[in-house]
């Protein structure tokens, strides 16, 4: 009887061990996370500031007169040449065009008093619509990246235009926005390409090229993580399918990719979209 009793105890222990091992294996499998990976590659990279600008005439002349208009020589939409008389007042004062352009606004009538000064608006406006430019209002973060002579790519009605930052205001000014008042820095883009098809007064999408590199190591931004001190890192997968945390130094970035200056080599496999619960040494399964 004693022999049978010990055999029963041993069988029970073996059964319990088998059940415990099965539960452990099952829990380990439940903890194993499937990850997607990609290779570190070498490629060119361009960093841009994306914003919108206003298409403006390169020259604008605003005339503000006073008194009764004795002679009005232009209508809205007329083209004028430099030196043409635009309007004359009863006291003999007259105003002429300072450049070849188009009359875009007329707010006076012949033989009537000009009250535009009191209303805070010009009497007549002419603009040079043959030479256009784009005016920008830059936030503080964008302004720190912008310099004169940087190349600009613009999109208007699915047509592409090229230009360059030609000037930047020396100081920022307070502008009223939907979120309240904020300081913005003005800048001007001059066109390098033909401006046919553009209409002054409309907005245009602007990409300012602030930096570029050739043959850089690049990774998708979705692979990037930061530790509690805001230091960047990525995860690679070790030979035993465990996560390895690799600290890196980053360079310039585009909207989807970022340069890796140190920490990785071309061909390294890195984990995409690492979860907040990932940690070094964690077992993972690489998705085929």
Q: What is the pLDDT of residues 42-62, one digit of tens each?
A: 999 999 999 999 999 999 999
Q: pLDDT digit string (tens) for 9-18?
A: 665 566 555 5
Whether 154 and 243 share a structural domain: no
Identify the residue with better confidence: 178 or 283.
283
Whether 207 and 194 share a structural domain: yes
Q: pLDDT digit string (tens) for 134-180?
A: 999 999 999 999 999 999 999 999 999 999 999 999 999 988 766 67
Q: Work out how many domains the chain is built from and give that number.
A: 3
| pTM recorded for the entire structure | 0.74
Q: pLDDT digit string (tens) for 209-249?
A: 999 999 999 999 999 999 999 999 999 999 889 999 999 99
Question: Which of 36, 32, 30, 28 has the alpha carbon at shortest distance from 283?
Answer: 32
Structure tokens at 149: 């002579």
Range of the domain at 181: 48-56+130-213
Whether 201 and 219 share a structural domain: no
Identify the residue with better confidence: 120 or 9.
120
Does the structure show a pLDDT above 90 at 2? Answer: no
Query: What does the DSSP assignment read for 247-269?
Result: E-EEEEE-SSEEEEEES--TT-E
In this prediction, residue 14 carries a pLDDT of: 61
Whether 115 and 252 share a structural domain: no
Whether 183 and 280 share a structural domain: no
Q: Judge whether 40 and 219 are in contact, CB under 8 Å.
A: yes
């Amino acid at each position: 009887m004693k022999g049978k009793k010990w055999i029963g105890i041993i069988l029970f222990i073996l059964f319990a061990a088998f059940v415990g091992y099965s539960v452990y294996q099952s829990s380990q499998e439940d903890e194993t996370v499937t990850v997607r990976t990609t290779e570190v590659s070498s490629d060119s990279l361009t960093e841009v500031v994306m914003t919108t600008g206003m298409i403006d005439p390169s020259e604008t002349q605003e005339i503000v007169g006073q008194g009764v208009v004795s002679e009005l020589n232009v209508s809205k939409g007329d083209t004028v040449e430099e030196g043409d008389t635009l309007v004359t007042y009863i006291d003999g004062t007259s105003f002429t065009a300072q450049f070849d352009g188009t009359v875009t606004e007329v707010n006076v009538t012949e033989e009537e008093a000009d009250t535009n000064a009191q209303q805070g608006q010009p009497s007549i406006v002419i603009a040079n619509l043959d030479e256009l430019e784009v005016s920008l209002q830059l936030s503080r973060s964008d302004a720190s990246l912008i310099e004169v002579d940087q190349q600009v790519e613009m999109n208007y009605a699915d047509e592409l235009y090229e230009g360059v930052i030609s000037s930047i205001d020396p100081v920022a000014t307070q502008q009223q926005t939907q979120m309240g008042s904020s300081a913005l820095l003005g800048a001007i883009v001059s066109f390098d390409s033909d401006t046919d098809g553009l209409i002054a007064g409309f907005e245009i999408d602007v990409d300012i090229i602030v930096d570029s590199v050739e043959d850089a190591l690049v990774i998708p931004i979705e692979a990037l993580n930061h530790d509690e001190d805001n230091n960047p890192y990525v995860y690679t997968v070790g030979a035993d399918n465990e996560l390895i945390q690799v600290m890196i130094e980053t360079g310039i970035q585009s909207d989807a990719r970022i340069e890796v200056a140190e920490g990785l080599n071309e061909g390294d496999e890195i984990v995409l979209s690492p979860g907040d619960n990932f940690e070094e040494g964690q077992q993972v399964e690489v998705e085929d």
